[in-house]
């Protein structure tokens, strides 16, 4: 069935609901092809006047409807594909509905669906309406009681939110379970899972002495692989108590891992549902990045219990209220579990890789968008990652104490409510006594501020003047911008690395660190008593999500690399030199950078994880974004040439690192992972030497004692054009063919390999018997790896990469619109390229746009990208 016309929803049109539903009792009679859902809701009108009740619904087959026990006459209500409207209901009544749905036919993976013969739900954002008619909006909070009935042999485990109050057998080999969630919640947090699982169990004693039973449910045979997730969960629970004074509030907390899932994971109350890729890990099959992601996402979903579930969003425009804040909490958790500076650099890399491009293209939108067609399309890097940065800046601007007090005020005051960004910010205005109205611009304006700074030092007077300006380029629908407050965490060093104290005009003492806020378009900060020419670092720990043109010379950046006290600044100085060399063909500086990176190698044993980051140059996507008229071929060549200079200069040492035996027994600890990261970085650099270094990679592959090492060696073989790549791939496939998560890696490493035959390879892989268009992980392993990690092939001048992606999205769209729409986001950069590429991208997008049956999700993305 064709979707209804696209309708734009606007924040400015928000109206509170005219009815509330305080309690809902659901009975699920589970059957893969025909599940019956009986819903009994207690409905209450909020206003005086009689008003129609419009309930949301989609793909539902209404079997019966009654009010207070009386079956409704056909004239009392009407049904269309998206609504059930009861024309004149009483003020307070019991509504009973029975709907029939088909989980087996649900390929969209939204609502109730099947994954490997297990039932599973995904209700955020608007999936509950595919289960029953309801006020499916986050500001309607109800208490849920859920009875699940199913065949006992096929579906022995029956799970839902809250606490299990009863279970037992029924006639005909069926059984039931009743789950009651005492906490009122919006429908998007509803969950149900049923099937055959293996489970692992543990316990957590909360600070106040409550004992929480923890369970993780996975496919039979996978139980042991969930241990790291369980360990992460317990650490997250403890951390939230220690850091934010937040305790868990139910007697049990369950996680279910599913193989088919559109996103990473979902924070349903007491019953988190996870993509299995973010639960399952063991020494042999998971990379360190997998372990890190599991820790981060298990933490993220758990932290939602307070930031999202107990305090939820009034409407979907407020999505960042839960997501930005929870990303911030997740990042802080990971920083505390591992190395704070390394975590910060990784978070910045991710922000730059995903969000800066979004902010600079046709899909740019504010952290709090003001309109949307399909909210599914707004689970973006801007809402999540930039949303997290906004919280980090808020903390910098109000200060640690006021931030901590503001958070406690928020938790206390807003608990149990559906809130807005304004409600949140008000807590910090109160705790800090600051006027935060200008800060709201971070939520309202799209676009990455471009900050420019220039310093002038007067040796005679010891005066240093630093002029800092900001500018945000126009974004779709926002031609004019007003300056947001930009926190600058600033300090100075001298050429020899000594820290330089300076007295800010108006201040009484000299300081070695300055916490400033740029509130205007341009400000000159004056510093006195400056004894030497200072090299300024303005964004310690990347204190604001901006681009910075600080005009420093290569020599000054080299001094920062060697000496700046802030690890982020040291790392960034190296990246900036590399960018300059690659973008402006400043090849003459390549040897100097190679020497500086040699020093990183010298001290690599102190902090191998940091050295690994320093050795990785900005990737091609970053260069494309930073280049006014990007030519992917040229940029790739410039990057390879610089990598080659560095690799050749340090070949012996890099080979020694790459060839060092793996550590056994395996440990996923940050330290061990850091040593493996250095090894991977060495392999990656050596890959620039081409097939001549292939022996090192083959050896590294054969001798690998962990998936991290094996994957890094494969990746290097893929880059190096060596024929050994195919042999290793075949070996890898034969070894892991029964493990879908590892086979995802097999697809991904090939799709990301920057070889001349990349496109032919991904085309062959699309036809591979293990490729499955219905499994989002497999689709992303092929398509997202190709479009996002292989920019040279994706942006091929003949448009072949664009056509591949558009064709695949077209095939997926009728099955899974949310996935298809998301796959297309790499097109966001199309307008930055030359005429020929633009034509190809445009025609690929127009081919999609012309499809009459295109889903609302994909249509919105295509139209916004083309606009
Ligand atoms: N709230 C989840 C993300 C999520 C969003 C939408 C989904 O389905 C359409 C699924 C998950 C999180 O932040 O982890
Ligand atoms: Zn989230």
* DSSP codes, 37-103: EEEEEEEEE-SSS---EEEE-SS-EEEEEEETTEEPPGGGEEE-SSEEEESS--SEEEEEEEEEE-G
Task: Measure 308 CA to ligand 2 centroid, in angstroms.
Answer: 8
Task: Decide the pairing of beta strands 163-169 and 83-86.
Answer: unpaired
Which atom of ligand 1 sits closest to the CA of residue 122? 8
Q: In a mutational test of the pocket of ligand 1, which residue from 120, 191, 265, 308 has the highest number of ligand atoms less than 8 Å from its CB?
A: 265
Pocket flag, ligand 1, residue 666 (CB < 6 Å): no
Q: How far is it, in rounded angstroms, from Cα 609 to Cα 676?
A: 8
Mind listing the pLDDT tens digit for each residue in 115-148?
999 999 999 999 999 999 999 999 999 999 999 9
Ligand lying closest to the C-alpha of residue 327: 2
Partner residues linked to 456 by β-bridges: 465
Ligand nearest to the CA of 189: 1
Distance of alpha carbon 753 from the chain centroid? 23
* Closest protein CA for atom 13 of ligand 1: 323
For the segment 738-757, the average pLDDT, to the nearest whole number, is 97
Average pLDDT over residues 608-618: 98
- Answer whether residue 424 shows pLDDT above 50: yes
pLDDT average, residue stretch 424-444:
99
Q: Which atom of ligand 1 is nearest to the CA of 376?
A: 9
Counting atoms of ligand 1 from 1, which one is nearest the CA of 127? 9
> What's the confidence (pLDDT) of residue 4?
54
Asked whether residue 3 carries a pLDDT value surpassing 90, the answer given is no
**Number of the ligand closest to the Cα of 324:** 2
Cα–Cα distance measured from residue 741 to residue 229, given in angstroms and rounded to the nearest whole number: 16
Partners of residue 609 on adjacent β-strands: none
d(CA 102, CA 259): 19
List the one residue out of 576, 652, 583 whose CA is nearest residue 614: 576
| Ligand 1 within 6 A of CB of 301 | yes
d(CA 318, CA 11): 9
Q: How far is the CA of 264 from the centre of ligand 1 (A)?
A: 7
263 lines ligand 1 (CB under 6 A): yes
| Predicted local distance difference test score (pLDDT) of residue 229 | 99
124 C-beta closer than 6 A to ligand 1:
yes
Nearest CA to ligand 1 atom 9: 124
Ligand 1 pocket, 262 CB below 6 A? yes
Mean pLDDT to the nearest integer, 435-455:
98
Query: Is residue 52 scored above 90 in pLDDT?
Result: yes
Mutate which of 112, 136, 256, 263 for ligand 1 pocket (most atoms within 8 A of beta carbon): 263
Closest residue to atom 8 of ligand 1, CA basis:
124
pLDDT at 609: 98
Q: The tokens 């220039």 sit on which residue? A: 454
Residue matched to tokens 């900050």: 451
Q: Tell me if 376 CB under 6 Å of ligand 1.
A: yes
Distance CA 850, CA 677 (A): 46
Q: How much is the pLDDT for 1? A: 40
Atom of ligand 1 nearest to the CA of 308: 1
Ligand 2 midpoint to CA 473 (Å):
29
CA 188–ligand 1 middle distance (angstroms): 10
- DSSP conformation class of 447: S
CA of 807 to the centre of ligand 1 (A): 26
Please state, for a pLDDT cut of 90, what percent of the chain lies above it: 99
Q: What is the mean pLDDT of residues 626-647?
A: 97
Instruction: Please write the tens of the pLDDT for every residue from 232-275.
Output: 999 999 999 999 999 999 999 999 999 999 999 999 999 999 99
Across the range 339-352, mean pLDDT stands at: 98
Q: What is the mean pLDDT of the chain?
A: 98
- Alpha carbon distance 490, 565 (integer Å): 11
Which amino acid residue places its CA nearest to atom 6 of ligand 1?
124
Q: What single string gives the DSSP state of each residue in 711-757?
A: HHHHHHHHHTT-THHHHHHHHHHHHHTT-HHHHHHHHHHHHT---TT
Question: Quick one: average pLDDT of 685-714?
Answer: 96
Q: Please check the confidence at residue 152 and state whether its pLDDT lies above 90.
A: yes
Residue found under tokens 């297990």: 118
Q: Which of 112, 146, 147, 105 is nearest to 130 (CA)?
A: 112
Is 267 touching ligand 1 by the criterion CB < 6 Å?
yes
List C-alpha distances in Å: 250 to 166, 302, 485, 584. 16, 12, 40, 58
Active site residue 301: yes
Number of alpha helices (DSSP H) and beta strands (DSSP E) in the chain: 30, 33
266 lines ligand 1 (CB under 6 A): yes
Please work out whether the CB of residue 126 comes within 6 Å of at least one atom of ligand 1.
no
Among protein residues, the one whose CA lies closest to atom 12 of ligand 1: 266
Band the pLDDT of 446: cuts 50, 70, 90.
very high
pLDDT over 80 (residue 390): yes
522-528 β-sheet, strand order: 503-504, 522-528, 463-471, 450-458, 547-549
Pocket perturbation via mutation, ligand 1, pick of 262, 266, 293, 296 by most ligand atoms within 8 A of CB:
266
Least distant ligand from the CA of 272? 1
The Å distance, Cα 818 to ligand 2 centre, comes to 17
Q: Are strands 450-458 and 547-549 parallel, antiparallel or unpaired?
A: parallel
Distance 113 CA to ligand 2 centre (A): 21
Backbone φ, ψ for residue 756 (5° rounding):
-60, -30
Residue 486 Cβ contacting ligand 1 at under 6 Å: no
The closest alpha carbon to 700, from 728, 675, 738, 719, belongs to 728
Ligand whose nearest atom lies closest to the CA of 263:
1
Using alpha carbons, list the distances in angstroms from residue 726 to 58, 436, 546, 731, 782: 47, 58, 42, 9, 17
Length of the chain in residues, anyone? 867
Please tell me the number of the ligand nearest to residue 266's CA: 1
Band of pLDDT at residue 725, cut at 50, 70 and 90: very high
The neighbour count for residue 537, using CB atoms within 10 Å, is 25
Q: Residue 522 to residues 313, 454, 468, 482, 867: CA-CA distances in angstroms?
A: 36, 11, 6, 12, 32
Provide CB contacts within 8 A for 688, sequence distance 6+: 640, 643, 644, 646, 647, 719
Give residue 569 CA to ligand 1 midpoint distance, Å: 33
Q: How far is the CA of 405 from the centre of ligand 2 (A)?
A: 23
User: Which ligand 1 atom sits closest to the C-alpha of 265?
Assistant: 14
How far does the centroid of ligand 2 lie from the alpha carbon of residue 55, in Å? 26
CA 297 to ligand 2 centroid distance, Å: 8
Q: Is pLDDT above 70 for 2?
A: no
- Helices 567-583 and 608-615 pack at an angle, to 10 degrees, of 20
Q: Tell whether the model's pLDDT for residue 399 goes beyond 50.
A: yes
Ligand 1: which atom is nearest the Cα of residue 301?
14
Mutate-to-test residue for ligand 1 from 108, 109, 120, 124, highest number of ligand atoms within 8 A of CB: 124
Cα(384)–Cα(387) distance, integer angstroms: 5
Query: How does residue 20 score in pLDDT terms, banded at 50, 70 and 90?
Result: very high
Among the listed residues 124, 301, 358, 580, the single catalytic one is: 301
- pLDDT exceeds cutoff 60 at 26: yes
Residue nearest to atom 3 of ligand 1 (CA): 266
Strand order in the sheet with 192-195: 111-115, 118-122, 192-195, 157-160
Instruction: Kindly state if the Cβ of 823 falls inside 6 Å of ligand 1.
Output: no
Q: Which atom of ligand 1 lies closest to the CA of 326?
A: 13
Q: For a pLDDT cut of 70, what percent of the chain falls above it?
A: 99
The answer to whether residues 112 and 36 touch, using CB atoms and an 8 Å cutoff, is no
Best substitution site from 138, 377, 379 to test ligand 1's pocket, by max atoms within 8 Å of Cβ? 379
Q: What is the pTM of this model?
A: 0.98
Q: pLDDT tens digit string along 295-305?
A: 999 999 999 99
Question: If you search the block for the tokens 């594909």, which residue do you land on?
Answer: 81
The verdict on whether omega for the bond into residue 833 sits within 30 degrees of 0, i.e. cis, is: no
**What atom in ligand 1 is closest to the CA of residue 297?**
14
Give, using CA atoms, the residue closest to atom 5 of ligand 1: 124
Q: Is the CB of 265 under 6 A from ligand 1?
A: yes
């Amino acid at each position: 069935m064709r979707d209804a016309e696209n309708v734009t929803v606007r924040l400015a049109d928000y109206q509170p609901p005219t009815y509330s539903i305080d309690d809902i009792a659901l009975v699920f009679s589970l059957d893969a092809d025909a599940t019956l859902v009986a819903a009994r809701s207690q409905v209450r009108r909020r206003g005086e006047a009689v008003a129609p009740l419009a309930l949301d619904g989609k793909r539902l087959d209404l079997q019966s409807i009654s009010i207070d026990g009386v079956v409704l006459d056909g004239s009392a209500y009407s049904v269309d594909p998206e609504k059930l409207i009861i024309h004149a209901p009483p003020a307070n009544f019991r509504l009973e509905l029975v709907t029939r749905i088909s989980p087996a036919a649900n390929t969209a993976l939204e609502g109730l669906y099947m994954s490997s013969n297990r039932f599973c739900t995904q209700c955020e954002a608007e999936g509950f309406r595919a289960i029953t008619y309801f006020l499916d909006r986050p500001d309607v909070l109800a208490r849920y009681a859920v009875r699940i009935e199913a065949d006992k042999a096929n579906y022995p485990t029956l799970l839902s939110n809250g606490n299990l109050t009863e279970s037992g057998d029924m006639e005909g080999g069926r059984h039931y379970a009743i789950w009651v969630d005492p906490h009122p919640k919006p429908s998007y947090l509803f969950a149900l899972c049923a099937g055959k699982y293996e489970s692992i169990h543990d316990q957590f004693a909360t600070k106040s002495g409550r004992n929480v039973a923890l369970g993780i449910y996975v496919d039979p045979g996978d139980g042991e692989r969930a241990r790291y997730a369980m360990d992460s969960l317990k650490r997250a629970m403890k951390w939230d108590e220690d850091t934010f004074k937040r305790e868990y509030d139910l007697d049990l907390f369950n996680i279910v891992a599913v193989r088919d899932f559109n996103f990473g994971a979902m924070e349903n109350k007491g019953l988190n549902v996870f993509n299995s890729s973010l639960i399952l890990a063991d020494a042999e099959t998971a990379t360190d990045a997998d372990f890190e992601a599991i820790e981060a996402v298990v933490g993220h979903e758990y932290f939602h219990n307070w930031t999202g579930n107990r305090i939820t969003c009034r409407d979907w425009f407020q999505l960042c209220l839960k997501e930005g804040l929870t990303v911030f909490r997740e990042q802080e958790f990971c920083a505390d579990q591992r190395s704070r500076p390394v975590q910060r650099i990784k978070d910045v890399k991710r922000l730059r890789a995903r969000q800066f491009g979004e902010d600079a293209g046709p899909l740019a939108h504010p952290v709090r968008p003001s309109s949307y067609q399909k909210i599914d399309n707004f689970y973006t890097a801007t809402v999540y990652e930039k949303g997290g940065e906004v919280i980090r800046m808020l903390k910098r601007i109000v200060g640690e104490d006021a931030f901590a007090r503001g958070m406690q005020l928020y938790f206390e005051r807003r608990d149990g409510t559906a809130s807005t960004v304004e409600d949140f910010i008000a807590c910090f205005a109160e705790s800090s006594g600051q006027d935060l109205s200008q800060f709201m611009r971070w939520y309202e304006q799209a676009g990455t501020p471009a900050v420019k700074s220039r310093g002038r030092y007067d040796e005679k007077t010891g005066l240093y003047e630093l002029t800092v300006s900001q500018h945000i380029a126009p974004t779709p629908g926002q031609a004019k911008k007003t300056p947001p407050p930009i926190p600058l965490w600033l300090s100075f060093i001298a050429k020899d690395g000594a820290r330089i104290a300076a007295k800010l005009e108006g201040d009484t003492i000299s300081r070695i660190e300055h916490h400033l806020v740029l509130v205007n378009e341009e400000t000159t900060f004056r510093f006195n008593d400056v004894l030497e020419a200072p090299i300024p670092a303005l964004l310690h720990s990347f204190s604001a999500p901006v681009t910075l043109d600080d005009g420093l010379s290569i020599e000054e950046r080299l001094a920062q690399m060697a000496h700046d006290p802030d690890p982020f600044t040291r790392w960034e100085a190296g990246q900036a030199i590399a960018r300059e060399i690659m973008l402006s063909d400043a090849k003459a500086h390549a040897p100097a950078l190679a020497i500086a990176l040699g020093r990183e190698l010298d001290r690599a044993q102190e902090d191998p994880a940091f050295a690994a980051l320093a050795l990785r140059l900005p990737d091609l996507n970053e260069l494309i974004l930073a280049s006014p008229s990007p030519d992917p071929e040229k940029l790739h060549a410039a990057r390879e040439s610089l990598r080659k200079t560095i690799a050749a200069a340090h070949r012996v040492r890099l080979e020694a690192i790459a060839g060092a035996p793996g550590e056994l027994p395996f440990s996923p600890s940050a330290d061990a992972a850091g040593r493996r990261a250095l090894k991977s970085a060495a392999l990656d650099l050596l890959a620039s030497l081409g097939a001549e270094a292939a022996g090192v990679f083959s050896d590294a592959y054969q001798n690998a004692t962990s998936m991290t090492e094996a994957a890094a060696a494969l990746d290097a073989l893929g880059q190096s054009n060596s024929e050994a790549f195919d042999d290793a791939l075949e070996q890898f496939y034969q070894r892991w063919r029964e493990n879908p998560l590892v086979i995802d890696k097999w697809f991904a490493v090939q799709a990301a390999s920057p070889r001349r035959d990349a496109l032919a390879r991904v085309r062959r892989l699309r036809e591979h018997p293990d490729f499955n268009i219905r499994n989002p992980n497999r689709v992303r392993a092929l398509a997202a790896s190709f479009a996002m990690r292989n920019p040279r092939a994706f942006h091929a001048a003949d448009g072949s990469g664009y056509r591949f992606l558009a064709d695949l999205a077209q095939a997926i769209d009728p099955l899974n619109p949310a996935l298809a729409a998301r796959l297309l986001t790499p097109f966001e950069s199309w307008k930055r390229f030359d005429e020929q590429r633009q034509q190809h991208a445009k025609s690929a997008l127009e081919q999609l746009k012309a499809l009459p049956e295109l889903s609302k999700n994909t249509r919105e993305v295509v139209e916004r990208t083309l606009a």
